[in-house]
Amino acid sequence: MKKDFKDVSMAVIRRLPKYHRLLKELMEKDVARISSKELSGMIGFTASQIRQDLNCFGGFGQQGYGYDVGELYNEISRILGLTSHYNTIIIGAGNLGQAIANYSNFEKKGFHIMALFEKNPRLIGLQIRDIPVLDVDDLESYCQGKNIEIGVICTNKESAQDVADTLVKLPVKAIWNFAPADIHVPDSIVLENVHLSDSLYIISYLLKIQEQDKE
Ligand code: NAI
């Protein structure tokens, strides 16, 4: 029977990539099993939080044994949908668009970047790895019949809403937006806004606290 996790809170879902990353590291170190207490020491969540999180999906651990690292990694991959394949395009082939296209690990996780789309003639025609930078005017014709699932917005913020509207019309199923713009899309479209600065500002805060403690 296909399990349905729609009722699991997004707060729990947002912790799953962290578990996934940690379990991958443990697998690389040939660690076969781990307790929630040991996981807690590494990940910074309490052991009870970890057990609660994983119980939302049926609980994979065994009392007195802990979690089978490989099994849990595979389960979390499956829950996150990382066993699927997603046709992906990037709009805006500047610094960030090119950096994302250059990062081959997304490919390994099933995010197949098919093309970048640009309006700047100096960038159109480039290849990032083997990914072509195409004219944004050809976006709609290129995407016809290709089942593009994810559109990544890497344009400047002024263009972001227009680009989002175009992606919605294609249609894509999800938008990964890096532009610092408050874009609006229909509820049926998955929208994830990324702000690297949020993480950077936390560094700034923690450095400030460290300095205050020294005073
Ligand atoms: P960039 O200026 O190097 O690249 C933007 C590219 O988008 C340019 O090549 C431009 O020609 C293209 N473009 C603009 N409008 C377009 C359209 N309608 N169709 C196709 N291409 C179009 O800028 P960079 O450094 O790559 O940053 C891209 C965006 O990401 C910016 O909005 C920036 O503020 C944002 N950013 C966000 C971060 C985050 O954490 N969310 C981190 C870094 C940048």
pLDDT at position 6, please? Answer: 77
Averaged pLDDT of the chain: 93
Q: Which residues contact 116 (CB under 8 A, 6 or more apart)?
A: 89, 90, 91, 92, 93, 97, 98, 101, 128, 131, 132, 133, 134
Output the CA 133–ligand 1 centroid distance in Å.
14
Please report, in angstroms and rounded to a whole number, the separation of the first and last CA atoms in the chain: 59
With beta carbons less than 8 A apart as the criterion, state whether 73 and 27 touch: yes
pLDDT at position 61, please? Answer: 74
Buried b / exposed e over 77-96, threshold 16 CB at 10 Å, is: bebeebeeebbbbbbbbeeb
159 lines ligand 1 (CB under 6 A): yes
Which residue's CA is minimally distant from atom 12 of ligand 1? 92
What's the CA gap between 49 and 51, in Å, rounded?
Answer: 6
- Calculate the CA 48 to chain-centre distance: 26
Q: Residue 1 pLDDT more than 60? A: no
DSSP string, 3-50: ---TTS-HHHHHHHHHHHHHHHHHHHTT--EE-HHHHHHHHSS-HHHH
Q: Which of 118, 155, 162, 201 to mutate to test the pocket of ligand 1 (most atoms within 8 A of CB)?
A: 155
Mean pLDDT of 180-188: 96
154 lines ligand 1 (CB under 6 A): yes
Could you read off the pLDDT of 94-146 as tens digits, one per residue?
A: 999 999 999 999 999 899 999 999 999 999 999 999 999 999 999 999 999 99
Output the CA 158–ligand 1 centroid distance in Å.
10
pLDDT band at 174 (very low <50, low <70, confident <90, very high): very high
Residue indicated by tokens 């991958």 = 24
With beta carbons less than 8 A apart as the criterion, state whether 144 and 118 touch: no
pLDDT band at 65 (very low <50, low <70, confident <90, very high): confident
The amino acid sitting at 150 is I
pTM over 0.75: yes
Could you read off the pLDDT of 20-41 as tens digits, one per residue?
A: 999 999 999 999 999 999 999 9
Mean pLDDT of 141-166: 97
**Tokens at residue 28, please?**
């690389």
- The atom number, within ligand 1, closest to the CA of 178 reads 41
Could you read off the pLDDT of 37-62 as tens digits, one per residue?
A: 999 999 989 999 999 999 888 867 77
Q: Which of 154, 162, 202 to mutate to test the pocket of ligand 1 (most atoms within 8 A of CB)?
A: 154
119 lines ligand 1 (CB under 6 A): yes
What's the CA gap between 111 and 106, in Å, rounded?
Answer: 5
What's the CA gap between 173 and 151, in Å, rounded?
Answer: 8
**Tokens at residue 119, please?**
């309006």
